[in-house]
Amino acid sequence: MMDILSEVAVTINVNGRPIKATVSPEESLLDFLRYRAGVTDVKCGCNKGDCGTCTVILEDKAVKSCLVLAAQVDGKRVLTLQGFEEDALMQALQKSFATHGAVQCGFCTPGMLLTARNFLEHNPKPERTEIKEAISGNLCRCTGYKKIVDAVAAVVDNETGEGA
C-alpha cells in the first residue's frame, strides 16, 4: 500500500492565501502556482532554470520556481508580483520601469521586478555593476538590459525617471 511515488498533500501560502492540494512528487512550484493557485503573473519561459521568468519569492528569497518542487514548499510562504500590490518599493520599481522603457513585450518583467526588489531590499544602495550582476539570472530578449539597469538605478537614486 505504501508507495514512495504517491501523491503528497501540501498547503502553500500563496500571496497570503493558503492553497491546499495533492501534488505528485515531480510537480514544480511553477506548475502549482499557475495551474492550481491560478497565479498567472508568474511566467514559464524555459522550464529548466535558465531564463528567470518564473522567479518568485520563497520565504524571503528569490528562486526560480521551475526548479523547486511543490512538495518541498509545504507550509511555506510564496509571493509573486500580485503579492506586492501595496508595496512601495515595488511600486517605485514598476513606475521606473515604465518611465525608462524597461518593459517591451513584458514577458520577463514580473521575474525581473521580483529579482530587483528582493535585491534592493537586501542591498539598498548598490553600484550599477552590482545591479547588473543581480539581474544576470533573468533574461530579456527585448531591451538590451540597459533600460532595465537604468530603471533600477533610478530607484536607488530616488528618481522617478522622468526626464532622466
136 binds ligand FES (CB under 6 A): no
**Which H/E stretch holds residue 64?**
strand 61-64
CB of 142 to ligand FES, least distance (A): 3
Q: Which is nearer to ligand FES, 54 or 131 (CB)?
A: 54
Tell me which of 50, 74, 127, 133 binds ligand FES, using CB under 6 A: 50
Of the candidate spans 1-9, 42-50, 93-101, 118-126, the one that interacts with ligand FES by CB under 6 A turns out to be 42-50
Q: What are phi and psi of 42, to 5 degrees?
A: -85, 125
CB of 35 to ligand FES, least distance (A): 14
CB of 136 to ligand FES, least distance (A): 13
Name beta bridge partners: 145: none
CB of 143 to ligand FES, least distance (A): 5
User: By the criterion CB under 6 A, which residues form the site for ligand FES?
Assistant: 44-47, 49-54, 64, 66, 103-108, 140-143
